[in-house]
Amino acid sequence: MCSKFKLHRCSGGIHPSMNAVVSEVVIKRAEICDIGQMIGVCRQAFPRSLLWQNDRRLARQWWNVVLSSKAVENWVLREAGEIVALSVLILDEARWAREQPLRRGPLRARMLAALRHPLLAACRIARLCTSRLKPVSETSYSVQLPTDWGPAMRTWLALIATRSDKRGKGYAGCLLEKCVLRTARLGRRAIALRVACDNTGAKALYKKHGYLFYISDAKGKLYVRFLNINPDCQNA
Ligand SMILES: CC(C)(COP(=O)(O)OP(=O)(O)OC[C@H]1O[C@@H](n2cnc3c(N)ncnc32)[C@H](O)[C@@H]1OP(=O)(O)O)[C@@H](O)C(=O)NCCC(=O)NCCS
C-alpha cells in the first residue's frame, strides 16, 4: 500500500524564494533495492552502532532478513525519489526474537567487525554487561497501563531514523503516524518502543506524538502510545 501526500513545510518554514515550499513525499514499504540507501540513513543516524558503522555486509544481512520477515513492516519515506527516513514496526515480537541470530549474521563476521571498531565494540559490551547487572523493576510503572496490552495487542517500533540533513521537517512524525494507522488497522491497542536514556531528540519526538514514558529498564526508557488513550494516564 502506498500513501502519498504533500508536505507544505521545510526546516526553515517558508523558503525565501517561494511563497511556500512543496516537497513531494511518499511513504511506501521498503524493497530489496532500497537496502543501500537504508544503510546510508542508518550509518548517519547511529554513529555509535557497531552494526551500522561496520562494513556493509553485516548491515546488508540485517536488512535482508528484516525485509523477508513476516514479523515486521518496514516503511521508507522518499523525498524527490530519495530515501530520507525509515521505520521498522514489529508485528510479531516472538518471531522477531527468534529471527535475531539470522539478523546478526555469522559470528566470524561479527568478531571481525569488533576488531575493526574496538571502541564501538567495547561500548557495546559495556552496555550488555550493564543490562545484565541492572535489574528491571516491573513494579515502578510511571503510568497506569491497561492489563490487556501484551504482545498480541500491540506493535513495537524497533527502528526509526531520518537522514541528518533532512531532520526537523516532520518526516519521523509522518512515519510515526503511518505506524499508528497500521497498528489500528491490525486491531491492536498500543505501540511501544524503547529509546536510549540520553537520546533527548527522540524522546522529545515521542512525547510530541503522544507517547507516554512508562518505565526505565537496563537498555533504556520504554514509551507507549495507546490508540484509545486512557485520560487518566499521566506522563511521568
Ligand atoms: C529522532 C529522529 C528520528 C527525528 O527525526 P525528524 O525527522 O527530525 O523528526 P520530526 O521532524 O518528525 O520531528 C521533530 C520533533 O522531534 C523532536 N526533536 C527531534 N530532534 C530533536 C532534538 N535534537 N532536540 C529536541 N527535540 C528534537 C522535537 O519534538 C521536534 O519537534 P519541533 O520541531 O516541533 O520541536 C532523528 O533525529 C534521528 O534520526 N535521530 C537518530 C536516530 C534515532 O535516534 N532514532 C530513534 C531511536 S529510538
- pLDDT for the residue numbered 145: 72
Q: Which atom of ligand 1 is nearest to the CA of 174?
A: 12
- pLDDT for the residue numbered 121: 81
Q: Which atom of ligand 1 is nearest to the CA of 220?
A: 48
Query: Domain total for the chain?
Result: 1
> Is residue 177 a part of any domain in this protein?
yes
Which spans in 46-164 are helix H? 50-53, 56-68, 93-98, 100-104, 107-116, 118-133
- pLDDT for the residue numbered 6: 43
- pLDDT for the residue numbered 150: 87
> Is residue 159 a part of any domain in this protein?
yes
> Is residue 160 a part of any domain in this protein?
yes
> Is residue 235 a part of any domain in this protein?
no
CATH number, domain containing residue 167 = 3.40.630.30
- Please work out whether the CB of residue 202 comes within 6 Å of at least one atom of ligand 1: yes
Residue 8's contacts (CB-CB under 8 Å, 6 or more residues apart) are: 20, 21, 22
Write the Ramachandran bin of 220: left for phi over 0, alpha for psi from -120 to 50, otherwise beta. left
- Please work out whether the CB of residue 201 comes within 6 Å of at least one atom of ligand 1: yes
Q: In terms of Cα–Cα distance, which of 82, 38, 89 is closest to 61?
A: 38
Q: In terms of Cα–Cα distance, which of 233, 166, 183, 172 is closest to 205?
A: 172
| Ligand 1 centroid to residue 46 C-alpha, Å | 13
> Is residue 66 a part of any domain in this protein?
yes
| 57 grid coordinates | 555486509
Contact 161, 120 (CB under 8 A): no
Would you give per-residue pLDDT tens digits along the chain (236 residues)?
A: 334 444 434 333 333 334 345 568 999 999 999 999 999 999 999 998 888 988 788 999 999 999 999 999 999 999 999 999 999 999 999 999 999 999 998 888 888 888 888 888 888 778 777 766 665 554 455 666 777 778 999 999 999 999 999 999 999 999 999 999 999 999 999 999 999 988 999 999 999 999 999 888 878 899 999 997 544 544 43
Handedness of CA 128, 133, 137, 142 (dihedral sign): negative
> Is residue 232 a part of any domain in this protein?
no
- Please work out whether the CB of residue 176 comes within 6 Å of at least one atom of ligand 1: no
Q: Does an H or E element contain 89, and which? A: strand 82-90
Residue 66's contacts (CB-CB under 8 Å, 6 or more residues apart) are: 72, 74, 88, 103
- pLDDT for the residue numbered 15: 38
Query: Which of 10, 75, 162 best tests ligand 1's pocket when mutated (most atoms within 8 Å of CB)?
Result: 162
> Is residue 221 a part of any domain in this protein?
yes
Q: What is the reported pTM? A: 0.84
Residue whose CA lies nearest to ligand 1 atom number 24? 201
**Domain containing residue 76:** 3-9+20-226
> Is residue 113 a part of any domain in this protein?
yes
